[in-house]
Amino acid sequence: MRPLLQFLHKRAEDFMVMLMVIMFSSFIVQIGTRYVFNAPTDWTYELILVTWLWSVFWGAAFLLEDKDQVKFDIIYNMGGEKMRRFLALFSALFLAGGFLISVPATYDFITFKAIRSTDMLGIRMDILFSVYLIFLVFVILHYGLRSYRLMRGDSMDTLEREESL
């Protein structure tokens, strides 16, 4: 299972690199057309926004580890093993549950957006925003699995070590 996960993680990184290359190339084209040829383009700005949106949610879903998230962990770090387990379980259940509750409304909103497209590139808005649904599903799975493992009794050190691999 671990080799498959590592392979998928590498492909997620490859996709992120592709998004960054497209964003940077569009930025260079935008600078060139605006300042060298004095003929600014609108499609480059829109492409930069699209790739930025996708890179933020794609990276948060597949590339950021739990330790990379912004946390207010003063109380967490002061507690012992039981307190840390309780706080980790509470936050994992809260995040998984909150995101799970939002799935129907998110899906309705994204499918509703199919009636519109971006102005310059003509990308349907439901396709554009579908990355958030991917993010949502992965976060629910991640924190659901983390909750399960915490309730099963896996040690906190094991969980933190495995997430950083």
Q: How much is the pLDDT for 128?
A: 94
Residue 43 to residue 23: CA distance in whole angstroms: 12
Arithmetic mean of pLDDT, 21-29:
96
Distance CA 7, CA 112 (A): 34
Residue of 84, 67, 68, 85 whose CA lies nearest to 76: 84
pTM score of the predicted model: 0.84
The pLDDT-based confidence of 105 (bands split at 50, 70, 90) is very high
**Torsion over CA: 49, 51, 52, 54 (sign):** positive
Residue 116 tokens, joined: 């519109």
What is the DSSP-derived secondary structure letter of residue 117?
B
Q: What is the pLDDT of residues 116-128, one digit of tens each?
A: 999 999 999 999 9
Task: Give me the count of residues in the chain.
Answer: 165
pLDDT digits (tens, 9 = 90+) for 131-142: 999 999 999 999
Contacts of 4 (CB under 8 A, 6+ apart): none
Q: What are phi and psi of 117, to 5 degrees?
A: -130, 165
Domain boundaries of the chain, sorted by first residue: 1-64, 65-165
Quick one: what percent of the chain has pLDDT higher than 90?
64
